[in-house]
Amino acid sequence: MSAVQQTIASNTATTTVSVTAMADGKLINTDKTWWQGRGYLWYGLFYLIPLFFMGPALSIAALPQWLAITLALAVFLWVYLRLENQLQPVPLADGQLGYRLTGRQLAHWCLLVLIAALVTPLNSGSMTLFGFAGLLLGLCLNGLRLWLTAGALLTLQALVFWLSFTQEYWFLQLYAAAVVAGMTFGGVMERLRQAISWQQQQAAQEQQTLARQLERERIARDLHDLLGHSLASIAMKAELAGLLLAKQQHDSCAEQLLSLQQLARSSLAQVRQTISGYQQQGLSAVIQDLLSLLHSKGWSCQLDADLAALAADSPPELELMLIELCTNLLKHSNGRQLQLSARQQDGHWQLLFCDDGVCAALTVGNGLTGIRQRLQALGGDLTVQLAPTCFVLRWPSGLVPDASPAERPLSKPV
């Protein structure tokens, strides 16, 4: 994981989740999808639909049946959610992603099936509960175990429906079998989707690790080539100046010290030029990491900027500003499209960070306040627009840091 992803992940831990780390062979976090979002639980409303056609009468005498039907649904959801919270995807030996059921989790699943079977004589909508049990099978099992267990579940459901609804058996059983098979298939597709997402992120992490290693090696080579000869020459000239001073040859010593000063300045200029190149690559890398992270969260990103020119003429604080804007985007925006553009105009750089989220009012927090203060210190400003949401960063082009004491001219030694 890059530094940008680590920063944003720490700032958005309460609102976003990503596959990033492993502990004891288990993934700590996974993508927030319909599985974790529990939006699919709305399908449980189908449990109530048959009650309008085949349910008990609305009378005091039927009150125990209605209570039993309601209690069965409440207990089923309670057990189901407990089991769902216990399930964690783990990487398997074949490089895939899957789930391993413990004895307790298997007992919870059997309890779900038992509740569905017991409530069937009162409500044929129990086929929905059987379907949720099949969903768990598709998510947690694969291969022969999935086929055998799903077949056993369908057989049990057919037997229960035959004993409970003899006259309507064929119609209900065909419909119930389709519900269970469809939800089981949905569990299988979700497991495959999670496996593909996990493999893609594993590959991305390996690429980032390799890129960091290659970058370290390149920096080591550059420093060796840049400073090795210069430092050796500085050491020799300093030693020679000391010998000349010991022999009272002041003019020759002064020449060596002046040459030593010029060599030090030349080396310092080369180091600054090299570091400037690293900073340019750093901004480009930060922007690419940010866009990749947003894309992994479901955002569609459009970039319209010359990254090389922007990196060469932007303050170092721009990286932190972009990270803060992306953090706010993931935390608060309800949009799904981002447009990032930058251009030079009237001696200033103007960077637009716009998304399609709906924002009626904006409360300026510490993050935006910090961005505005940084830009004002550089002679720029921050403008916020609504409908659509757009942050406009503006700063003077051609920013050059003040000369440091090491760069100031030295007097000729005497």
* pLDDT 10s digits, 332-360: 888 889 999 999 888 899 999 999 887 77
Within a domain: 364: no
Within a domain: 286: no
Q: What pTM was computed for the model?
A: 0.50
Within a domain: 127: yes
Within a domain: 82: yes
CA distance 268 to 236: 18
Within a domain: 255: no
CA distance 408 to 52: 88
Structural domain boundaries, residue 177 = 31-204
Per-residue pLDDT at 33 exceeds 60:
no
What burial class does residue 229 get, using C-beta atoms within 10 Å of its C-beta: 0-12 exposed, 13-18 middle, 19+ buried? exposed
pLDDT given for residue 354 in this prediction: 93
Q: Which residue has the tokens 């840049």?
A: 226
Q: What is the pLDDT of residues 57-99, one digit of tens each?
A: 566 666 788 888 889 888 988 988 888 888 777 766 655 666 7
State how beta strands 389-396 and 381-385 pair: antiparallel
Amino acid (1-letter code) at residue 1: M
Within a domain: 102: yes
Within a domain: 308: no
Q: How many separate domains does the chain show? A: 1
Within a domain: 252: no
State how beta strands 389-396 and 97-98 pair: unpaired
